[in-house]
Amino acid sequence: MRLKLLGALGMAVLLAACSDNSDKGATTGTGAAAQTTGVTPGSEADLVANVGDRVFFELNKNNLSTEAQGTLDRQAAWLAKYPQVTIQVAGNCDDRGTEEYNIALGERRANAARDYLVAKGVAASRITTISYGKDRPTATGDDEQSWAQNRNAITSVR
């Protein structure tokens, strides 16, 4: 189950990385304007392609930027449209912190995103959180751009 989800995420990440490399890691594939055809509405692929599955954070921070809030607003609207969908929000960190601290920091980021969604009307019972610390990087390089990509909270359909 988990492997399958991560597989889907990995695909999304690859696609995103191809299309958004010039964007300093601020967004990946959040092109809400262009509806991607061929994906099931209310699915993980729909979320990734048409809503934006992730928000990004500054170094050692969990504040939600205006851009992040925009992404979460779209997620909240999407979740309102598909009330049967439950989600997991996974917090992640770059690898410039210690393993244990980053587990807590990732959870703090996941909770920040979760709290925002709940404030926007998503039932808390539809959201679980998890943190992978620095152990599941999206971008596998070690440079500022990769680290910015890896400081995130990723929403996935359960």
Partner 1 sequence: MRPSDMPLISDGDASLLATAFGRRGLIGAGIAGGILASPLAALAQGAPGAAEITVDQARSEPIPIVIPPLGGDFGQQVSAVVSADLGNCGLFRPIAGSLPAGMPDFGTYKSLGARALVSGTATSSGGALRVEFRLWDVLTGTQIQGTAYTAAAADVRKIAHIIADVIYERMLGEKGYFNTRIAYIARSGPRAHQTTRLAIMDQDGANSHYLSGGQWLTLTPRFSPASDQLAFMSYANNRPRVYMLNLATGRQQLLGDFEGISFAPRFAPDGRSVVLSATRGGGSDIFTVDLVTRAKRQLTSSGAIDTSPCYSPDGSQIVFNSDRGGTPHLYIMSASGGGAKRISYGSGTYGSPVWSPRGDLIAFTRIANGSFSLGVMAPDGTGERIMTQGFTVESPSFCPNGRVIAFCRQTAAGAGGAGFSSGISTVDITGFHERAIPVGGASDPAWSPLNG
In the three-class reduction of DSSP (H, G, I as helix; E, B as strand; rest coil), residue 90 is classed as strand
The two most distant CA atoms of the chain are separated, in Å, by 42
**Cα separation, 118 vs 25, whole angstroms:** 26
Antiparallel, parallel or unpaired: β 127-131 and 87-92: parallel
147: part of which helix (H) or strand (E)? Answer: helix 144-150
Give the one residue of 46, 51, 137, 149 binding partner 1; rule: CB under 8 A.
137
Binding mask 64-103 for partner 1 (x = CB under 8 A): ------------------------x------xxxxxxx-x
Residue 125 main-chain phi, psi, to 5 deg:
-70, -15
Give yes or no for residue 126 binding partner 1 (CB under 8 A): no
Give the one residue of 50, 62, 75, 149 binding partner 1; rule: CB under 8 A.
62
Decide if 90 contacts 102 (C-beta within 8 A): no
Query: Which residue stretch of 23-31, 46-54, 76-84, 104-112 sits at the interface with partner 1 (rule: CB under 8 A)?
Result: 104-112
CB of 37 to partner 1, least distance (A): 28
Residue numbers at the binding site for partner 1 (CB under 8 A)? 2, 6, 10, 60, 62, 88, 95-101, 103-105, 107-108, 111-112, 130-132, 135-138, 140-142
